[in-house]
Amino acid sequence: MPVSRRIALLHYTAPPVVGGVESVIAHQARCLGALGHAVRIIAARGAQTDPQVCFVPFPLADSRHPQVLHVKAQLDCGQVTEAFERLRLTIKEALARVLADLDVVIAHNVGSLHKNLALTAALHDLFASDDALARPRLILWHHDLAWATPRYRAELHDGYPWNLLRTAWRNVRHVAISELRRKELASLTGIAAATVSVIPNGLDLARFHKLEARTRVLAERIRLTQADLILLLPVRVTPRKNIELALEVLAELRRSFRRPILIITGPLGPHNAKNADYFALLKQRRAALALEDNAYFLAEMYDHFLPDELITDLYRLADALFLPSREEGFGLPMLEAAISRLPIFCSDLAPLRDLGGDYAYYFSPDAAPGLLADAITERLRNDAAFQHASRTRRQFTWAHVCAEHIAPLIEAVCADE
């Protein structure tokens, strides 16, 4: 059972203030909370936007606080005054109280930018000086580097406190959001690049696609973001839809894909009692092919009507339409796939050709599963949009980034003595 940690994310501002770093903080806080950690956001401006994440106001963290702006105007001219020292000490004392009960502090850009150097200096005093706190541990998260940006050069000067932004702080872990930032940070500070973790930003697919609540639950249940190929078969379970061919092809696709999945959306056809027997045969075939983790019949998961909105969500999430029907009078999924910009693999039937024209890949309903799987693989491997989307879905969702990168880093930091 993972250990629950008390974690704070520190920045100048937080949501609902709009900004790239602010958005990242919100996603990180939500995902860490979902993993069972007690998370709070500490910032000057913002509010509690998630019921599971506490917001702690800390006014002097603000880059726009009057005292901070007064001191920054002096620093921009190269003057380190008594006003700076007083502000640094005030922030240090207040920060020590706010952080006292934590296990880990993640400071976003505070060790990178000169927007509030008194805050930077106070954080350095607390964590990287000779009398540094034993706990909590500090992670400096670098989105932007002032010293690597020409537009800030006139506001930076040699010596303290500006050099804190290009110094290797002791007793802290460093994270860069990209390989470029890691190289820049290593060049500026002398830190060995290998000691800097690269942890990318991510996407929240559910929010990005505005998925229905039921779609979100389904996506988690079938581990959709771990699939490198998602085929959609939006049909009722009835023999003329030739679903057995879809299962055979799916089994063959495992030769080329790590985890291909097939989603069959429809219920049993309502007008023929034999459809229940057909469904039983399909499930037996799925078991024989060991496809329980690959082929999903929504008719097994839901015993009620599924709204069009959920099906529309699946079109947004799928990589391709697979339609191996033996008979079709029209073929509405062809139009739905087209408007969703999905590649289409379908039976060579006149109504489907009328709708798909030259844009679909056609095959015989009696095609050899292995050859059809090879054709699908070849077409998708030459589809740059599919390749990029598949990689992004598996590696750059916030849930993945948090579980595979951030959470292990926190455990490693807490293990350091």
Name the average pLDDT for the chain.
95
pTM, two decimals, is 0.90
User: What is the per-residue pLDDT across 349-379, written as a single tens digit (0 to 9) for each?
Assistant: 999 999 999 999 999 999 999 999 999 999 9
Question: Pairing state of beta strands 6-10 and 104-108?
Answer: parallel
Q: How far apart are CA 255 and CA 45, in angstroms?
A: 52
Looking at the chain, the domain(s) classified CATH 3.40.50.2000 span 6-203+397-415, 206-395
Minimal CA–CA distance to 30: which of 412, 403, 409? 403
- Count CA atoms closer than 13 A to 177's CA, side-chain side: 15
**CATH says 6-203+397-415 is which class?**
alpha beta
User: What is the per-residue pLDDT across 278-327, written as a single tens digit (0 to 9) for each?
Assistant: 999 999 999 999 999 999 999 999 987 789 999 999 999 999 999 999 99
CATH of domain 206-395: 3.40.50.2000
Contact in structure between 58 and 44 (CB atoms under 8 Å): yes
User: What is the per-residue pLDDT across 210-234, written as a single tens digit (0 to 9) for each?
Assistant: 999 999 999 999 999 999 999 999 9
What integer pLDDT is reported at residue 133 of this predicted model?
66
User: What is the per-residue pLDDT across 72-101, written as a single tens digit (0 to 9) for each?
Assistant: 999 999 999 999 999 999 999 999 999 999
What integer pLDDT is reported at residue 299 of this predicted model?
94
Q: Is the pLDDT of residue 417 over 60?
A: no
Q: Cα dihedral sign for 311, 314, 320, 323?
A: negative
* Long-range pairs for 160-166: beta carbons < 8 A, 24 or more residues apart: 160/80, 160/121, 161/75, 161/80, 161/84, 161/88, 161/117, 161/118, 161/120, 161/121, 162/75, 162/114, 162/117, 164/111, 164/117, 164/120, 164/121, 164/124, 165/111, 165/112, 165/113, 165/114, 165/120
Q: Is the pLDDT of residue 392 over 70?
A: yes
What integer pLDDT is reported at residue 404 of this predicted model?
95
Q: Is the pLDDT of residue 51 over 70?
A: yes
Q: Is the pLDDT of residue 172 over 90?
A: yes
Q: How far apart are CA 57 and CA 61, in angstroms?
A: 9
Contact in structure between 325 and 233 (CB atoms under 8 Å): no
Contact in structure between 286 and 296 (CB atoms under 8 Å): no
- Sequence letter at residue 11: H
What integer pLDDT is reported at residue 269 of this predicted model?
72
Q: What token pair was written down for 82?
A: 């008594």
Minimal CA–CA distance to 401: which of 182, 205, 172? 205
